[in-house]
Amino acid sequence: MKKSPMIVLAGGNGYIGGTTAFALQEAGFVPVIIDNFSTSKKGAFNDFEVLEADLTDFSQTQRALKKIGPVAGLIHFAAKALVPESFEIPGLYYKNNLLSTANLAELSVELGIPIFLHSSSCAVYGVPKSVPISENSELHASSPYGDTKIMAEILLDRYRQMGKFKVLHLRYFNPAGAWPKYDWGEAHDPETHLIPNLILSAIKNQPVSLFGDQYSTPDGSCIRDFIHVVDLAEAHVKTLQMLLAGKAMPPCLNIGRGEGSSVLQVIQAAEKVLGKKIQVKKEPGRAGDPPELVADVTLMNKVLDWTPRKSLSNMIEDDWTWRSSTVK
C-alpha cells in the first residue's frame, strides 16, 4: 500500500499551522509538527506528532527533522507575528524569524526536503501605492515584522534560484475564523487581531478598541481583506498538491478574498451575526497600520483554480461558536 506523504509543519502548533494540519490530514497527508510553544500552548493537540525544538537553534532543529525522517515537504509557519510588538522588541523579531528561516533552509538542503512553503504576509507591501495589491507591487514593509517577511522571502528565493528546493511564499492577507469541528481557533496572548477581540468584547460585554478613525478611507477606519482560516488552510493543501505534482508555479501568491471590509463594517457585521450591540472605544491609530490592504487575487484564482468559499459572516460565526465554548 502507498504510504501517505509526510509534511513538516514548522510552527504548526499555532493558529494557522494547526488549522492546516487538520486540512492536510483530511487530504490524506501526515502532518508532523515542530514548535517551541513560544506563542502557542503545549498540549493543544492530541491528533498529531508534535516535536519540541527551537528553530533558531540549528542542532535542535536538525535533531527534530532527522527524527521525523524523509518528508515530502515543509511548511514554515513559525514566526513572531505581532506588528505592534515588533516595534517594541525588533531584535527578537529579526532573530527569531530570520534564524528560523535560515536554519530550515540549510537543513532542507542537507536532508533533501524538496518543497518549502513559506507563510508570508501582506505586511511585505507596507503602505501600497495602489489597491488591490498584486504580487508585482513594490515590497517595502512598514514594520520590523514586515521587514522579516521580506528578508525571509529574499533568503528563500536565493535557495530557489540555486535550485536547492522548490519555494513558494503564500502572502496571507487577514486570516480569521475558527474550525469548531476540531475545537481549533485563534488564541494569541496578547490578541491584536480584530475579529477575536470583537467576539471577546461581545462575550464579556466590554468595548472593542477602534484603532484610528481618521484614515483616508470612506468611513475613516482601516480596510482589510479577511479570509477564513479554513479557506487559507485549503490554499496550502492545493499549493502543496500542485508542487508535488510538478506543476510550474509562481514564486509567490496572495491569499485573500479580494474584498475589503473596514473595521467599522466588520463591527456592524458582527452586531448583525450576533444580534447584539457592540460598544466601541476610539483609540489612536497604531504604528505600522496601513489604511487599506486588499489582495488582487487574480493570480491565486488562476494558478490554484480556486476561490475561497467562506464569507465574513462565516468567520464571525465560527469564531463565536468556538470562542464562546472556550472563554469562561
Ligand X SMILES: NC(=O)c1ccc[n+]([C@@H]2O[C@H](COP(=O)([O-])OP(=O)(O)OC[C@H]3O[C@@H](n4cnc5c(N)ncnc54)[C@H](O)[C@@H]3O)[C@@H](O)[C@H]2O)c1
Using CB under 6 A as the criterion, which residues of the chain lie in contact with ligand X when the complex forms? 11, 13-17, 35-40, 54-56, 77-79, 81, 96, 100, 119, 121, 172, 174-175, 188, 193
Distance set, CA 1 to CA 4, 34, 253, 287 (Å): 9, 27, 34, 54
Nearest distance from residue 277's CB to ligand X, in Å?
26
How many other C-beta atoms lie within 10 A of the C-beta of residue 188?
A: 14
Q: For residue 93, indicate whether it is catalytic.
A: no
Which is nearer to ligand X, 14 or 258 (by Cβ)?
Answer: 14
Please state the closest distance from residue 1 (CB atom) to ligand X, in A. 33
CB 48 within 8 A of CB 32: yes
Which residue's CB is nearer to ligand X, number 146 or number 212? 146
Ranked by CB distance to ligand X, the top (closest) residue is 14
Q: Which is nearer to ligand X, 66 or 276 (CB)?
A: 66
**Beta strand pairing call for 261-262 and 223-224:** antiparallel
Q: Residues of 113-138 as b/e, b for ≥16 C-beta within 10 angstroms?
A: bebbbbbbbbbbbbebeebbbebebe
For the bound state, the minimum distance from the C-beta of residue 186 to ligand X, rounded and expressed in Å, comes to: 7
Residue owning grid cell 509562481: 250
Q: How far is the CB of 3 from ligand X (least distance, A)?
A: 26
Catalytic choice (145, 172, 182, 215): 145
d(CA 79, CA 12): 11
Cα separation, 268 vs 46, whole angstroms = 37
- Compare residues 175 and 180 and give the one whose CB is closer to ligand X: 175
- Where in the sequence numbering do the catalytic residues fall? 145
